[in-house]
Amino acid sequence: MSLIIFIIVLIIVLSTHELGHFILAKIFGVRVDEFGIGYPPRIWGKKIKDTIYSINWLPFGAFVKILGEDGDNKGDINSFSNQKPWKRFSVLSGGIIINLICGMLLLGVGYIIGLPVLVNEDEINQVENAGLSILNVSNDSPAELSGIKAGDIVLSVKAGETELKDLTPTIFSDFIKSHLGEEIILTVETTDGVVDKSAIARKDPPQGQGALGVSIGQVGFVQYGFFKSIWLGIKNGFQIFLNTFVVAYSLIKGLLGIGPSIGELVGPIGITALGSQTVKLGLGYLLQFLASISIGLAAINVIPIPALDGGRILFVLLEKIKGKPVKAKTENMVHTTGFALLIALSVYIAVKDIIRLF
């Protein structure tokens, strides 16, 4: 049930991106041939005026078909390729804008009902339900092998006859360091209840990892009034937007081997698996996760990657600077090549996701 719920809300969030293109195209009188939820083959479709509205079998977002988006139909007054550069720029930016707004609104609603936040040890009494949470679990670490997952709440730790409760990050870290090489019993609250997990604290962990291979933090829930929540949604939404560029830059450096690897790329399969777990953690966690996806999608589409919005926007800007458009053949070749590389990367990430999950 949690998987089904997450897939439905994820489709809605991802569909807002194409909805942005759709709305701006309609505003500027550009003909939209089809607006589809999911990807073909088609389940159902209905034509209203010039546009087919469809529901399709593959539930990975949505798509919009705009007349002349590939540079064709320049003679048609309603064609995208026949519009002035600023109008094309606006239509291409529509998805980015609405993803950013959607993410900020999700955060704003989250702050109204209560969102999980990291707090300092001296702020524990200022938030509700503060607990020591597992923030991240490294691949092939003792924690992962024991079944510990991100989102688990650590209630107590035990080594031999020594057991500690009322944990803080400092107390937890000091306890693990004082029992290297020993079996550690962690009592954790999971989405399935309270269970004990056993792991050996490594004396020599890989660089960048701890003895158990977990990142921990004190997490509590904060709630604010309407106006402050909306303001925090906007403010923190922009922060996530900017942080996405930093993470993307670090990931690219890691993939090229010119910087440290900061983690694994995750595709739709991995996101869906993580999302179904997030649903179990509660509405606050789900809203935060969906907001990050929406805002991250906006940021990625700003980057001038061929075949994505940023790559198409770049060609519009080049046209404005040069005073004439880049040859349609050249632009299409760049986007086709970029699309092929993105598909190859997507397949690679999907395979990695499947291996990681199964």
Residue 255 domain-assigned (yes or no): no
Other beta carbons within 10 Å of 226? 10
Residue 231 has pLDDT above 70, yes or no: yes
Q: Is the dihedral of CA 138, 139, 143, 144 positive or negative?
A: positive
| 201 lies in the same domain as 162 | yes
Q: Residue 221 in contact with residue 129, Cβ under 8 Å?
A: yes
Residue 117 domain-assigned (yes or no): no
Residue 317 has pLDDT above 90, yes or no: yes
The pLDDT assigned to 125 comes to: 66
Tell whether omega for the bond before 41 is within 30 degrees of 0, i.e. cis: yes
Task: Tell me what the pLDDT averaged over the chain comes to.
Answer: 85
Q: Which of 34-38, 97-101, 215-219, 251-255 has the lowest mean pLDDT?
A: 251-255
The pLDDT assigned to 12 comes to: 82
The pLDDT assigned to 267 comes to: 60
Of residues 88 and 283, more confidence is placed in 88
- C-alpha–C-alpha distance, residues 21 and 65, integer Å: 10
Alpha carbon 252 to chain centroid distance? Answer: 17
The pLDDT assigned to 1 comes to: 64
Domain that holds residue 76: 2-111+291-357
Residue 307 has pLDDT above 80, yes or no: yes
The pLDDT assigned to 265 comes to: 61
Which residues, 6 or more positions from 125, have their beta carbon under 8 angstroms from its beta carbon? none
Residue 121 has pLDDT above 60, yes or no: yes
Of residues 273 and 321, more confidence is placed in 321
Select, from the ranges 120-124, 205-209, 252-256, 309-313, the one with the highest average predicted confidence (pLDDT): 309-313
| 101 lies in the same domain as 8 | yes
| 98 lies in the same domain as 130 | no
Alpha carbon 275 to chain centroid distance? Answer: 10
- C-alpha–C-alpha distance, residues 35 and 26, integer Å: 12
DSSP 325: P
Other beta carbons within 10 Å of 106? 23
Which residues, 6 or more positions from 344, have their beta carbon under 8 angstroms from its beta carbon? none
Residue 286 domain-assigned (yes or no): no
- CA dist list (Å): 356 to 274, 301, 350, 351, 353: 12, 27, 10, 9, 5
Percent of the chain with pLDDT over 70: 87
The pLDDT assigned to 324 comes to: 87
pLDDT mean over 327-350: 80
The pLDDT assigned to 225 comes to: 93
Residue 253 domain-assigned (yes or no): no
Q: What is the CATH number of the domain that holds 181?
A: 2.30.42.10
- C-alpha–C-alpha distance, residues 216 and 170, integer Å: 10
If one counts the domains in the chain, the total is 2
pLDDT mean over 221-240: 93
- Helix boundaries (H) for 114-168: 142-145
pLDDT mean over 7-31: 90
Q: What is the pLDDT of residues 91-115, one digit of tens each?
A: 999 999 999 999 999 999 999 998 8
Q: Are strands 214-222 and 115-118 parallel, antiparallel or unpaired?
A: antiparallel
Q: Can you name the residues that pair with 79 across neighbouring β-strands? A: none
- CA dist list (Å): 254 to 135, 137, 207, 247: 22, 19, 15, 10
Q: Residue 176 in contact with residue 159, Cβ under 8 Å?
A: no
Residue 188 domain-assigned (yes or no): yes
Domain boundary at 193, 222, 251, which? 222
The pLDDT assigned to 117 comes to: 84
pLDDT classification of 208: cutoffs 50, 70, 90: confident
Q: Is the dihedral of CA 328, 333, 335, 336 positive or negative?
A: positive
The pLDDT assigned to 276 comes to: 67
Residue 357 has pLDDT above 60, yes or no: no
Domain boundary at 187, 204, 222, which? 222
The whole model's pTM is what? 0.81
pLDDT mean over 311-329: 89
| 150 lies in the same domain as 102 | no
pLDDT classification of 268: cutoffs 50, 70, 90: low
Domain boundary at 222, 251, 272, which? 222
Residue 216 has pLDDT above 60, yes or no: yes
- C-alpha–C-alpha distance, residues 28 and 266, integer Å: 36
Residue 215 domain-assigned (yes or no): yes
